[in-house]
Structure 1
Amino acid sequence: MTLRLITSPPSFPRFTCHATALPPSPQISTPTSISSTSQLQSLTCALHCPHFQSCSGCTHEHNLHHPVILEDAKNFFRKYGVTDFTFDTCNLWGWRCRAKLAVRGSSTNPLIGLYEEGTHNVIDIPECKAHHPNINAAVELLRQGITELDIEPFLEDEGTGNLRYVQMAVTTHNTSLPAAKRYMSGKVQVTLVWNSRNETSAGSEKLNALANFLWKKGGPRSRLHLIHSVWANFQTSEKNIIFGNRWRHLLGERDFWEHVGGIDVSLAPSSFGQANTRAFDALLQKLQKYVPYESSVTDLYAGAGVIGLSLAAARKCRQGLMLSYRSIKCIEINKESKVSFEKTIERLPATVDSNITWHHADASK
């Protein structure tokens, strides 16, 4: 276990596949070459994850270049006049930059992963192929800390134990590195969901000890700088809700930044963020091409307002003669997201001249 922590995290081959709704160009080929190509594509576009049969996280294992839902998506967009719909898997492995994982088992044999489908039995997923490699490395570091410090995982039936869940979020925004190296060098923000009311409750000494362990072994002065920051969330509810309402920053950088859609985005651990950072960035770049200039945009379920603010930065919502109609309205039910929204606003280019507002409301009503 220790060897995995002091060496560089494993890097996955970055196979990408592409599918399009446009008809393919005519080609002359033999039946043998078609079969060979199909078999090769099926192999290279497969998940190859050892946890697939038991873990509930992924539902599609083979032919990832052509998932079952792709035809439905094509038909949906065609119905609304979008004839140039394309589908790109981006990275097949190592794409997930945000993960919420349950912590169960015992201090000597902790299980850190997802529930088996239809149950509350946690499946340990140390070699998850979807996770960014540094999430897997941070999970192994956490596992070591739980064992060495005798941290008790949560027992649902009894409501006892210390650590209920962990959230891992990777930031790949590091301007000190060449762009090509930033993704694989991402740092992990760790949120420990602790089974207590606050930081003064019983067991707080173990929380601090675990946070210090992660920072010592994975912080900037360690042999492998892996950890961006450590946060705590306090949750005692008997309901199946991961986070409580109380958050505390413990160690490392307080601000977590990512660069997507042409803007720097601030994301608190309580903020919603897309798990596939690269795919989301590609989606935003494409979305900007479809929104007409001088549009008015309402971003529902906005979170920190990433979609709306990305369009504002692309100058798609510039104020014209009718100023009140050239606006960005971000609507979000989680009031905690407003702080991230305001920090993101501060980094927008000076050329943005939209009327931008954030509203705390339930977009479903």
Structure 2
Amino acid sequence: MPKRKRETKTPTQLRNARKRKAKKREKATARLQDPSLVYIDDPLSAPTVLQAKHFFKELGQRLPLQLKAKEGWRSSAKLAVRRGADGLKIGLFLPKSHEIISVLGCSAHHPAINQALEAITVIGASGKIKGYDELDGTGDLRYVKLDVERSTELVQVTLVWNASSQEEAGSSLSWLLKKLKRHELWHSIWLNFNAADKHTSRILAYEKEAWLQVHGPKRFLREALHSVEGEAVELCFPPFVFRQANLCAFEDIVSLARHFVPAQSVVVELYGGVGTIGLHLADRVSSLVCSDENPHNRLCFKRSAKALPEELRPHLSYVQGDAASQVKSVPTADVVIVDPPRKGLDEAVLQALCRSRKKKQQRLIYVSCGFPAFQRDCQKLIDAGWTVHHAEGFILFPGADHLETFCVFDRA
């Protein structure tokens, strides 16, 4: 049998092959280090996902799992900035440490976020801007918050500065802003003044005087959830309100919520944010009262509601206050919607739900971003007479050990 002729590659082909191998090695190394990509090869194998499937199986319920795009899904990111040998070090903290892993070029990020990070990193390499140093509390830039307006692919960037005001920040901030404004990446540029001597663990300072917009239109960044049926809603997402990182996947949760809200229901929504879920129920409710503790959310809700058909607006209202302060409204509702932070329901809210009884059936729609807390709350609700009517799991952060749980409880 004749020997096969050995294929000879040109120098260019060899170089390209080496580059491909190097990129493959870099990607594999990033997956080992980046805590958001640990389970990216098989997101359904994450421990929390397996735990949730087992939990619902014990309840006699099947848990369907929904997974969308594994790349380019993150349209909102809050990243730490620290002092590095070559300028600014921007990325995520490794688990149980204060060591930062760079996420420049991360496959999970919307391409616009990666472009923005590259611009900031290149500017930071000059050395004129100092990353924050946790050991002595010195440095300039502590965090960056990046939000993409998906319709335009422009980025709303927030620079969290280690100072109490623009005057205190001085010439280094002015220099950075001058450099950033040369790029056409930005929807707007915001400053958040959060000095290290405030002794707070919060990434952002939420006092009104801590915020300053220095570039871009005064009109808030807007997002429409195009896959959701019903009246079109443009949600307002300035940098000082909560926004889901994976809006593309969260759209499916909003659509599902609509399906489980009977027509002409009296709805109370706690932990409502800017009304991401509630406003998309405007054509299905006889009344909706939405609430949240962030004082900025009410204005965003009102601006979005103002664009809805005039006949729907009188049915919609917003109350500023934490969920515990709104528990008196729970017994009045046909449907209660909760989307609490990772720690789960406040004890006062959980107790109000456990006590609540109406003459007709009442429904609870629970959207959870922290499964251990949901598991605890779910068991208490079942013990109090609620039954699980429907449940689904959503992989909102593919690659991370995380699950967003959507659960509908009924009580006769």
Q: What band does the TM-score fall into relative to the shorter chain?
A: 0.7 to 0.9
State how 1:80-229 maps to structure 2 within 5 Å: 86-106=64-84, 108-148=86-126, 150-174=128-152, 186-201=153-168, 203-217=169-183, 219=184, 226-229=185-188
SS at match of 1:282: helix
Superposition deviation, residue 77 in structure 1 = 6.2
Find the aligned partners of 2:58 and 2:151 in 1 and give their Cα distance: 38
* Deviation by residue 1:53-107 (Cα, 9 ceiling, x = unmatched): 2233344233225544445545666788976x64221110110111100011248
Find the aligned partners of 1:55 and 1:290 in 2 and give their Cα distance: 37
Unaligned runs of 5+ in 2: 1-26, 324-345, 349-412
Amino acid at match of 2:170: S
Find the aligned partners of 1:75 and 1:331 in 2 and give their Cα distance: 33
Find the aligned partners of 1:67 and 1:165 in 2 and give their Cα distance: 28
2:30 to 47, 51, 55: 51
Amino acid at match of 2:176: L
Q: Is the 8 A contact 1:149 1:209 kept in 2?
A: no
Q: Is the 8 A contact 1:107 1:151 kept in 2?
A: no
Change (3 A) 1:135 1:336: same
Find the aligned partners of 2:201 and 2:316 in 1 and give their Cα distance: 36
Superposition deviation, residue 290 in structure 1 = 1.7
Number of aligned positions between the proteins: 288
State how 1:261-300 maps to structure 2 within 5 Å: 261=228, 262-300=232-270
SS at match of 1:291: coil
Q: Determine which structure has more spread, i.e. the larger CA radius of gyration.
A: 2
The structure carrying a bigger helix percent of its residues is 2
SS at match of 1:303: coil
Amino acid at match of 2:217: E
Find the aligned partners of 2:118 and 2:85 in 1 and give their Cα distance: 13
TM-score, with structure 1 as normaliser: 0.73
Superposition deviation, residue 336 in structure 1 = 1.7
Number of the residue aligned with 2:289: 329
Superposition deviation, residue 205 in structure 1 = 2.8
Number of the residue aligned with 1:248: 212
Change (3 A) 1:354 1:52: farther
SS at match of 1:196: coil
SS at match of 1:248: strand
SS at match of 1:123: strand
* Deviation by residue 1:190-247 (Cα, 9 ceiling, x = unmatched): 000011101221x333223222322212x2xxxxxx2211100000133322111211
Amino acid at match of 2:212: R
SS at match of 1:297: strand
Change (3 A) 1:311 1:74: farther
What percentage of aligned pairs have identical amino acids?
A: 30
Amino acid at match of 1:52: R
Are 1:316 and 2:284 matched, yes or no? yes
